[in-house]
Amino acid sequence: MAEQRVGFYPGSFDPVTYGHLDIITRAARLFDVLVVAVGQHHAKPGLLSLEERLQVLEAALRPIRDTISGCDIRLAKYSCLTVEAARRAGANVIVRGLRDGSDFDAEVRMAQTNATLDAEIETIFLAASASARMISSTLIRQIAEMGGDVGRFVPMEAAAALRRAFAQKSGENDA
């Protein structure tokens, strides 16, 4: 029996966007198992809690799981080096999405560093689809914070989580 092709798609997913889901959908066609891993950086806690991000991702992945056969899409969380988390997940490929040239420069540096840390784990880049190219979690958070409608950029579960997070933040600021 052939060895399973296991991909590892890391990110903060704060919040998950249609750009992320585009990469997940396309990567799922390349692997037998795709581990979508939510990273938690000790110095950057994020707007949404780790558990909220996992819940939103779980809901957002349901339609993808229903339409892509042949790939077991799993959720994971990690707080170690990405390359170490990929190794622990049994992956030999890290998947990264690219929106533009500035993403490319940063991602190539990261891929080269990861290759130095573990030469057995390869990084592949998937170019964002035209419809998702301009979407970034940072921009989405800014729009949501200003009360804008982010429904065209994120799944409804993510939009609702952002509304709750900013309502709570606003309530804390009013206290």
Among the options 12, 53, 137, 141, which is catalytic? 137
Among the options 99, 129, 133, 136, which is catalytic? 99
Chain position carrying tokens 């909220």: 52
Say whether 77 is catalytic. no
Among the options 41, 44, 69, 102, which is catalytic? 44
Locate 121 and state its tokens: 């784990």
Which is nearest to 94 in space by CA: 28, 8, 23, 36? 8
3-state secondary structure at position 93:
strand
The residue length of the chain stands at: 175
Say whether 99 is catalytic. yes
Written as one string, the DSSP assignment of 50-68 is HHHHHHHHHHHHHHHHHH-
Say whether 42 is catalytic. no
Say whether 137 is catalytic. yes
User: CB neighbours (10 Å) of residue 146?
Assistant: 8
Active site residues: 20, 44, 99, 137
